[in-house]
Structure 1
């Protein structure tokens, strides 16, 4: 039993232990090229949360990782793909509000939402929720944005790319097909220069962007690259969780 993983913890442990921080992993369910599982975002985010929580727990921080939410916001062109589960932002708002209400009523005031899916946008949702629960603290962690990926990986991209493939190869090697079966993750750019240069933004039409659903070539991925990346990311998250666990919410600013 890991006392920082709610799904593995029993009432005897919970009843006799005070917890300072709840961590909510949130992913998605969608195709990830030909070689990675549909649950990639949720699987990797739950494991990252668990590894970071263990490091924080070992430093004395009483952290609890909640069950991962596998429902993400999807783009046009993805929504129509078989078993790609699209959840509207308004639905995510309802889910997160219910979870926050449960924690709040139980006296837990610190929550970290750990997002592992680029299509999810929790900032406006958190801004909407917080005024309803005075004294509640909600922080957003997006682990895939924490460190420069170029320090660890040779190829860029943001979906079933070298980074994600290396992570799943490290955590769940049995779920990764041989890389020769993976698509190259070639992605088409917009014809509008302003969209490519971030002058404006619109969702990518996924079925027109990528033939294999990937964005970024995964062929150079490895377990070793994933381990190095994950060691650094989970250590950084653990440091934050430890700091958050001991902080006074009434004294957050210098």
Structure 2
């Protein structure tokens, strides 16, 4: 069945007389995810979460349109990991500028960037583009921060960890290798303690931090955990879509 809120699936017959309040741009990455998860893990997750939350919002009357997922992200710290595909922040800025130019010209003045990859940093890009396109309301979100992960998962992590493994066991179990092939996700920390405290930052060189490319123990992952997390994320995200659709851009503050 064609989903009318998914641009890649719908058609000109449906779109020629349609108008949307919000465009949603999923943005992922192509990179190794421990030994057991596919390179497109971030893209599979972004595709699924954005589509399901759009379905919920659409069925409640919100006029949303989901753009095709951008499959490459910022992977500068993983330049020596085989076939991790990097695009620079300056490239992301150029891509966003072109997409926003189209939306703005066609009267869609609200864009939500759904970030599916921790290496993507959209804040400075949104600042620059917001100044360039004052008619546009540009926002972004990063789904692992939407809820308290500790309520769903036992182990902490930020890459191919218990959370991502659970999501993929729920969404695409056929793409997850058997548990015997899972790496431990053990990762080294900086010797400079300040850089581990969260208020100072430097990029990690992935091949020196982790053997299996994972950061976080996936051992306790399960499809059941992934399903509960997925459902809660999608519901919360759909509510955000609806709020954005209803928002008056001339009266945003109270």
1:63-78 superposed matches below 5 A:
63-76=64-77, 78=78
Over the residues paired in the alignment, what is the CA RMSD in angstroms?
Answer: 0.9
Aligned residue in 1 for 2:119: 119
Q: For 1:10-55, what per-residue CA distance to the aligned partner results, in whole angstroms no more than 9, with x for missing partners? A: 1111112211100000011000001100001111011110011001
Deviation at 1:123, TM superposition (A): 0.4
Number of residue equivalences: 253
1:29-68 superposed matches below 5 A:
29-68=30-69
Gaps of at least 5 residues in structure 1 are none
Q: For 1:167-222, what per-residue CA distance to the aligned partner results, in whole angstroms no more than 9, with x for missing partners? A: 11111111111121010100011111111123421001101110000001112111
Aligned residue in 2 for 1:216: 216
Aligned residue in 1 for 2:7: 6
- 2:22 is aligned with 1:21: yes
Partners of 1:237 and 1:25 in 2: how far apart? 13
Q: For 1:123-159, what per-residue CA distance to the aligned partner results, in whole angstroms no more than 9, with x for missing partners? A: 0000001121121101111111111111000111000
Asked whether the equivalents of residues 104 and 135 of structure 2 are also in contact (C-alpha less than 8 Å), the reply is: no
Q: What TM-score do the two structures reach when normalised by structure 2?
A: 0.98
1:1-254 superposed matches below 5 A:
1-76=2-77, 78-254=78-254
Asked whether the equivalents of residues 179 and 218 of structure 1 are also in contact (C-alpha less than 8 Å), the reply is: no
Partners of 1:137 and 1:201 in 2: how far apart? 29
Gaps of at least 5 residues in structure 2 are none
Asked whether the equivalents of residues 165 and 218 of structure 1 are also in contact (C-alpha less than 8 Å), the reply is: yes
Partners of 1:188 and 1:244 in 2: how far apart? 40
Partners of 2:42 and 2:194 in 1: how far apart? 29
Asked whether the equivalents of residues 169 and 176 of structure 1 are also in contact (C-alpha less than 8 Å), the reply is: yes
Partners of 2:84 and 2:223 in 1: how far apart? 27
Partners of 1:131 and 1:201 in 2: how far apart? 27
Q: What TM-score do the two structures reach when normalised by structure 1?
A: 0.98
Asked whether the equivalents of residues 188 and 209 of structure 1 are also in contact (C-alpha less than 8 Å), the reply is: yes
Structure 1 residue runs of 4 or more that deviate by more than 6 Å after TM superposition: none
Deviation at 1:81, TM superposition (A): 1.6
SS at match of 2:69: coil
